[in-house]
Amino acid sequence: MHNPIIITGGTQRLGLAIAESLHKNGHEVVVTYRKVKACHEDLANKGIELVQADFSTQQGIDGFIQHIKQRYPRLRGIIHNASDWAAESGNSDPSELFMRMMQIHASAPYQLNLAFQSLLIQDDGVTDIIHMTDYVQEKGSKKHIAYAASKAALHSLTLSFAASLAPKVKVNSIAPALLMFNDHDTEDYKQKALKKSLLEICPGAQEAVKAVNFLLDSDYVTGRTIHLDGGRQLK
């Protein structure tokens, strides 16, 4: 096929679920990772290509762009899922934290979209860029200020690239709130978190998988955001 879907940060949580689903549905898949994880051998055995890329550095971005351009003549899509959920703290350097959040969540997708524009257009059909943003892009965050700002920047990139790459490339966002708990989350935290949405559930990674499949299958959606928040905006 040689027209894969790229998933950045595709070896854990939402990214991993999306990668496995797309591969099962017959897509060629390339995933990026920062650190080796237990799932890597299984993904490789399935035929999913794994590429080490640290998008917090310019070298990591440039190296990944070069690798893809040398290996693939065209792309079916890009799903920008790589993320770093860093919070402000008394020990953090505000300048370094802000620049890192912007580098990973805004600068890297911006550069990859521009670099791979020609590969997306070379595909026979309409192709897709999907930005994984966040519920906090619209309301901000008291504990993750730089993170929220960088996700808002990524949302803005959705609008700009949707306009500039149409009609050949559809560009959309998926903005999750709570989809998965972490292993270390306490029961008290879980109960408080569930109460923040109208539906009061934690639906799991498959909710993001369904949204990705909808956007890939759609012929008429671009420049939009799918909000996966259980009605949280109404609480």
Q: What is the mean pLDDT of residues 146-173?
A: 98
Residue 160 in this model has a pLDDT that exceeds 70: yes
Q: Which residues pair with 5 in a beta bridge?
A: 29, 77
Q: What is the mean pLDDT of residues 65-72?
A: 97
Closest CA to 55 of 137, 112, 113, 133: 112
Which residue type is seen at 148?
A
- Taking only Cα atoms into account, the Rg of the chain, rounded to an integer number of angstroms, comes to 17
Percent of residues in the chain assigned helix, strand, coil, to nearest 5: 45, 15, 40
**Backbone phi, then psi, for 11, in 5-degree steps?**
-120, 15
pTM of the model: 0.96
- For the stretch 38-66, pLDDT in tens is 899 999 999 999 999 999 999 999 999 99
Angle 209-214-217 (CA atoms, 0-180°, nearest 5)?
Answer: 125
Residues 229 and 153: their CA atoms lie apart, in Å, by: 19
DSSP output for 199-215? S-----THHHHHHHHHH
Predicted pLDDT at 235: 85
Residue 1 in this model has a pLDDT that exceeds 70: no
Q: Which two tokens stand for residue 22?
A: 């797309």
68 in Cβ contact with 6 (< 8 Å): yes
Quote the mean pLDDT of the chain.
96
- For the stretch 104-157, pLDDT in tens is 999 999 999 999 999 999 988 999 999 999 999 999 999 999 999 999 999 999
> Which residues have a catalytic role annotated?
147
Residues 29 and 24: their CA atoms lie apart, in Å, by: 10
